[in-house]
């Protein structure tokens, strides 16, 4: 109940976007059943939004520690390349293990730079953002690797009790991440570290391990997103897989109300933020407006949310809240 109340603005915004989508495209909310799965524009919103939703699950934790992970798009490309190159020769568990393991390694690398070498997060993750696509191309040898494995393809195009697999994976990861951070004290430690790292360390929290863990998780989430994206197009395109998606993930986290300075976070709001962005994309697409308008709308949303978060305006809102 509390969570719902805290997320009311985002939920309302999401519903408003859905309503707007319904207005521009009357069929928007129609969902029908075909070949054992759900179809429709609304389903598409969740399906297409899945990779960013997966990214945002990792990103929101990184941002909660006061960091940022610019490398998730590149990690997607690497993991997608790994998965696609193994898909036709190896069983699915091996493919998944290799792809997710690679992502985890990438995340650990970032975490190492931030937590141990104490490099600013933007700078530290920039390294993998630049080099990562090169690594992905190294794996694909510069080609677009395609595969035919139905097992892997199922993760992108299949459905479980009618729900598209990417959405199932998002829900699964959401539950897993929730269990991992809210079922344990990790969430508290992440929020404490992001809120005041010095004080947290003095209170006995291993802030270094916490930081390492969130970047590792972000790498893992990015790898899964990369696998889903590759499974969706039955191939890996090292150049374009996950391109600029790190920015969408950051946007989703910002929309979820997380402060970029660290502190409080909400996993489900981050996922909701990702779907909200996708709903805007889809709406613009359906309305017949040039899809490029998306970028402009995103820019406007980022600025609006940040303006609302800005300390100068926060001072004002605190004044308004005080009487209650």
Partner 1 sequence: MSDTPLLSVRGLSKSFAGHQALAGVDFTLRRGEIHALLGENGAGKSTFIKTLTGIVRRDAGAVWLDGVAIAPRSAEESARAGIATVYQEVGLLPNLTVAQNLFLGREPTRFGLVRGRAMRQRTSERLAEFGLAIDVGAPLGSFPVAVQHLVAIARAVDLSARALILDEPTASLDTHEVTVLFGVMRRLAERGIGIVFVTHFLEQVYAITDRITVLRNGRLVTERETAFFPRLDLVRTMLGHDIAEEEARSETAPRAQRIGAGPPVLRAERLGKVGYLRPVDMTVARGEVVGLAGLLGSGRTETARLLFGAERPDQGRILLDGRPTRIANPRDALRHRLGYCPEERKTDGIVADLTVRENIVLALQARKGPFRPLSRAAQDRITRDFIAKLDIRPPDPERPIGLLSGGNQQKALLARWLATEPRLLILDEPTRGIDVGAHAEIIRLIRSLCDAGLALLVISSELEEIVTYSDRVIVMRDRAQVAELADGAIDVTAILRAIAAEAPAPVPEPA
Partner 2 sequence: MSRNLPVLVAALLFAAGYGLCATQYPAFLTTRVVGNLLTDGAFLGIVAVGTTFVIIAGGIDLSVGSVVGFTTVFLALAIERWGIPPLAAFGIVLAAAGLFGAAMGALIHVFDMPPFIVTLAGMFLARGAGFLLSTESVPINAPLYGAVSDLSLSLPGGGRLTLTAGIMLGVFLVGGVVLRATRFGATVYALGGSRQTTALMGVRVGRNIVAVYALSSLLAALAGIVFSLDTASGTPLSAVGVELDAIAAVVIGGTLLSGGQGGLLGTFLGVMIGGLIQTAITFDGTLSSWWSKIATGLLLFAFIALQQGSVALAGRSGRRARASAGATVVRPAEARA
Q: Which positions touch partner 1 (CB under 8 A)?
A: 183-186, 188-189, 191-192, 195-196, 198-206, 210, 263-264
Least separation in angstroms between CB 210 and partner 1? 8
Contact 128, 109 (CB under 8 A): yes
Closer of 184 and 317 to partner 1 (Cβ): 184
Which listed option, partner 1, partner 2, none, makes contact with residue 189 (CB within 5 to 8 Å by class)? partner 1
Least separation in angstroms between CB 212 and partner 1? 12
- Residue 123 binding partner 2, by CB under 8 A: yes
Which listed option, partner 1, partner 2, none, makes contact with residue 260 (CB within 5 to 8 Å by class)? partner 2
Task: Give the distance between the most distant pair of CA atoms in the chain.
Answer: 66
Closer of 11 and 126 to partner 2 (Cβ): 126
Closer of 120 and 184 to partner 1 (Cβ): 184
- Residue 201 binding partner 2, by CB under 8 A: no
Contact 245, 48 (CB under 8 A): no
Which residue, 186, 150, 177, is CA-closest to 165? Answer: 150
Contact 261, 64 (CB under 8 A): no
Q: Stretches 39-47, 133-141, 186-194, 216-224: which one binds partner 2 (CB under 8 A)? A: 133-141
Which listed option, partner 2, partner 1, none, makes contact with residue 137 (CB within 5 to 8 Å by class)? partner 2
Closer of 32 and 198 to partner 1 (Cβ): 198
Closer of 32 and 312 to partner 1 (Cβ): 312
Which listed option, partner 2, partner 1, none, makes contact with residue 131 (CB within 5 to 8 Å by class)? partner 2
- Residue 108 binding partner 2, by CB under 8 A: no
Q: Tokens in use for 70?
A: 């610019």
Closer of 159 and 285 to partner 2 (Cβ): 285
Least separation in angstroms between CB 310 and partner 1? 17
| Separation of alpha carbons 92 and 153, rounded Å | 10
Q: Using DSSP, state whether 162 is helix, strand or coil.
A: strand
- Determine how β-strand 32-34 pairs with β-strand 145-146: unpaired
Which listed option, partner 2, partner 1, none, makes contact with residue 206 (CB within 5 to 8 Å by class)? partner 1
Which listed option, partner 2, partner 1, none, makes contact with residue 238 (CB within 5 to 8 Å by class)? partner 2
- Determine how β-strand 163-164 pairs with β-strand 159-160: antiparallel
Helices 72-87 and 41-64 cross at an angle (nearest 10°) of 120
Q: Is 146 exposed, middle or buried (0-12, 13-18, 19+ CB in 10 A)?
A: middle
What single DSSP character describes residue 119? Answer: -
Estimate to the nearest angstrom the gap between the alpha carbon of 135 and the chain centroid: 21
Q: Stretches 48-56, 123-131, 200-208, 266-274: which one binds partner 2 (CB under 8 A)? A: 123-131
How many residues comprise the chain? 324
**235 forms bridges with which residues in the sheet?**
146
Estimate to the nearest angstrom the gap between the alpha carbon of 255 and the chain centroid: 12
- Residue 137 binding partner 2, by CB under 8 A: yes
Contact 192, 262 (CB under 8 A): no
Closer of 247 and 286 to partner 2 (Cβ): 247
């Amino acid at each position: 109940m509390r969570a719902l109340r805290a997320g009311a603005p985002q939920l309302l915004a999401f519903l408003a976007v859905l309503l707007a989508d319904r207005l521009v495209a009357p069929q928007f909310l129609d969902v029908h059943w075909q070949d054992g799965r759900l179809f429709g524009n609304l389903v598409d919103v969740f399906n297409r939004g899945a990779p960013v939703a997966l990214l945002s699950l990792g990103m929101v934790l990184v941002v909660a520690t006061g960091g940022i992970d610019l490398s998730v798009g590149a990690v997607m490309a690497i993991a997608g390349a790994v998965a696609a190159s193994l898909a036709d020769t190896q069983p699915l568990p091996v493919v998944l293990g290799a792809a997710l393991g690679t992502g985890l390694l990438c995340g650990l690398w970032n975490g190492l730079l931030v937590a141990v070498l104490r490099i600013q997060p933007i700078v530290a993750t920039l390294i993998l953002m630049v080099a990562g696509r090169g690594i992905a191309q190294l794996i694909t040898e510069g080609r677009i690797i395609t595969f035919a494995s139905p097992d892997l393809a199922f993760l992108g195009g299949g459905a479980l009790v009618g729900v598209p697999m990417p959405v199932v994976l998002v829900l699964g990861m959401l539950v897993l991440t929730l269990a991992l951070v809210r079922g344990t004290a990790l969430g508290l430690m992440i929020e404490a570290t992001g809120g005041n790292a010095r004080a947290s360390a003095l209170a006995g929290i291993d802030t270094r391990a916490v930081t390492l863990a969130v970047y590792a998780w972000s790498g893992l989430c990015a790898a899964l997103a990369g696998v889903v994206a590759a499974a969706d197009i039955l191939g890996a395109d090292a150049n374009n897989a996950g391109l600029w998606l790190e920015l969408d993930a950051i946007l989703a986290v910002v929309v979820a109300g997380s402060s970029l300075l660290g502190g409080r976070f909400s996993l489900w709001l981050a996922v909701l933020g990702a779907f909200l962005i996708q709903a805007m994309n889809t709406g613009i697409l359906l309305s017949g407006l040039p899809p490029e308008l998306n970028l402009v709308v995103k820019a406007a949303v980022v600025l609006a949310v940040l303006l609302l978060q800005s300390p100068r305006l926060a001072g004002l809102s605190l004044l308004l809240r005080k009487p209650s």
